[in-house]
Each structure stands twice: as structure tokens, then as C-alpha cells.
Amino acid sequence: MSKKLIALCACPMGLAHTFMAAQALEDAAREAGYDEIKIETQGADGIQNRLTAEDIAGADIIIHAIAITPEDSERFEHVDVYEITLQDAIKNPGGTLREIEAMIREEHQK
């Protein structure tokens, strides 16, 4: 069964930390067995790799690794979004992803 993770990474400057977080989450998702991974970045160069309504609707997990309110955030109003810090994404992406997966499993068992 295919697993899809999408994420949005954003910080005020949108330089190093945004892209470090995006890469760390992508690597952790691949390690965790996700087949589809798409990560939008928001920063100094605007929005890159924009997540579409189709991306959002088809995702098993949606993560926001942010230090600011992302642009166009109303796209995510009707879905579960797991918000983490950029530092969590950079320093412990695998552990953070496992925590989110555990929370989702717990919610499904209720």
C-alpha cells in the first residue's frame, strides 16, 4: 500500500533552515517507507513546490515545520496538520515522524 507524506516548511528568512528542514523530513520519510513525498517551501524566494488540493487530499500525513504563519494556509483548514518546529524537523526528523505516526495510530484505535 502506498504511503504519502506532504509537508510545508517556512521561516521568516526562508533560507537555510527552511531547506534543511525540508531535506531532513524528506530523508526521514523515505527511511520510514513513504512512497510519495512532496514538500513545499516558503521563504525569501516565495513559494516553491506548491502543494495542490490533490496533494493535500491524498496525503496520509501532513506536517508543517514552521516558524511563521504560512501563506495560503486556508488550503489546510479541513485536514489534520501536525505542526512542528523547524528545529524538530532538522534535529530529529525520524523521531518526530514516528511520534506523529503513533498519534495517528492512537486516533484510529479510538
Question: Catalytic amino acids?
Answer: 11
Cell numbers standing for residue 46 = 516565495
φ/ψ of residue 90, rounded to 5? -80, -45
| CB hemisphere CA count around 109 (13 angstroms) | 6
Kindly report the number of other CB atoms within 10 A of residue 101's CB atom: 16
* Cα 17 from Cα 38, distance rounded (Å): 17
* Cα 4 from Cα 16, distance rounded (Å): 25
